[in-house]
Chain A
């Protein structure tokens, strides 16, 4: 569609759709960025040995990790 067909009110129609695109775009980017940041945070915690209580994956629990690190410190 040629935007000149919108006549003298073209700027209003374009502004409404541009703002809609901007708002929806910001929402999508915000949700995606939030997910990426949370995933990084979760990975960092898991890498340091902290796991969820209900996690069934092999690996030490929080208490095991903390007590082993405390034991390491006491041995040193």
Chain B
């Protein structure tokens, strides 16, 4: 099956129907294993103590927040360049999930910050740019709802999403470009991860579980969005045919009344 085959919503829905049960099982299993490792296998940090366990929620949520935006940006390219039928469906379906995980990353970061930094919030580059990401998600969701025509909404949102990619780059490099209270990268960096394997493995498992959760929710949301568009098309067809039919009725009924 090629990418062009998947461009057909009916084929895509068939594939989703097959994949979803497996994805749900994989997500639940990965979450269970990840949580077991996070609470029962990972040791407490020599400096942070038990609060290090917040990392197993915070880091995967933050990664997903960025991954969701990357998905939206790729979908926007697909929507603008190739006019892929499912690209704008994918972009629209990603936004609420991205907003939820961005909120979770901000919340868990604030909760982690209080015992570690002595404050819930500082206006440093990483935290501020992440807050901007959350606001951008909310703006994109509002824009999808504000424009009734899904094709117009997709174009406007695609342009705004692609402009917003600059913020993702700022988030990624904020801890290197500016002096921030937030720590520098400790996983993806030159010289390898700075985290011990006893904590890195549970973190990887939780990250995998969150990615599976995102894929599952994204496919479910895309399926809903396709259904929503079909309902809209059905309503529009019924509405466009109704006036023509009623005018036919008038012309048919008039001679009968004259008889």
The answer to whether B14 has its CB under 8 Å from any CB of chain A is no
User: A67 → chain B, closest Cβ, in Å?
Assistant: 4
Please state if A28 and B217 are interface contacts (CB–CB under 8 Å).
yes
Residue count of chain A within 8 Å CB distance of chain B = 43
Set A5, A28, A52: member contacting B50, Cβ < 8 A: A5
Secondary structure type dominating chain A contacts: helix
Beyond A45-B234, A53-B237, is A15–B252 a contact (Cβ under 8 Å)?
Answer: no
Name the residue on B nearest A46 (C-beta). B234
Please state if B242 and A66 are interface contacts (CB–CB under 8 Å).
yes
Please state if B217 and A74 are interface contacts (CB–CB under 8 Å).
no
Residues from chain A with a CB closer than 8 A to the CB of B114 are 12
User: B116 → chain A, closest Cβ, in Å?
Assistant: 9
Q: How large is the interface on B (under 10, 10 to 19, 20 to 34, 35 or more residues)?
A: 35 or more
Count A-B contacts at CB 8 Å. Answer: 115
Residues from chain B with a CB closer than 8 A to the CB of A17 are 57
The answer to whether A47 has its CB under 8 Å from any CB of chain B is no
Set A12, A34, A35, A74: member contacting B54, Cβ < 8 A: A12
Please state if B50 and A6 are interface contacts (CB–CB under 8 Å).
yes
Set B49, B100, B256: member contacting A23, Cβ < 8 A: B100
Please state if B58 and A66 are interface contacts (CB–CB under 8 Å).
no
Residues from chain A with a CB closer than 8 A to the CB of B237 are 50, 53, 62
User: A15 → chain B, closest Cβ, in Å?
Assistant: 5
The answer to whether B220 has its CB under 8 Å from any CB of chain A is yes
Residues from chain B with a CB closer than 8 A to the CB of A51 are 234
Per-residue interface assignment for chain A, residues 1 to 42, with 1 indicating a CB less than 8 Å from any chain B CB and 0 otherwise: 100011101101101110110011011101110110011011
Alpha-carbon gap, A17 to B235, bound state (A): 43
Name the residue on B nearest A20 (C-beta). B57
27 residue pairs of the A-B complex, CB under 8 angstroms, read A6-B50, A7-B50, A9-B49, A9-B51, A10-B50, A12-B54, A13-B54, A19-B111, A20-B57, A23-B101, A27-B96, A38-B224, A38-B228, A42-B227, A50-B237, A51-B234, A54-B10, A62-B234, A65-B238, A66-B238, A66-B241, A67-B245, A70-B246, A71-B249, A74-B249, A74-B252, A74-B256
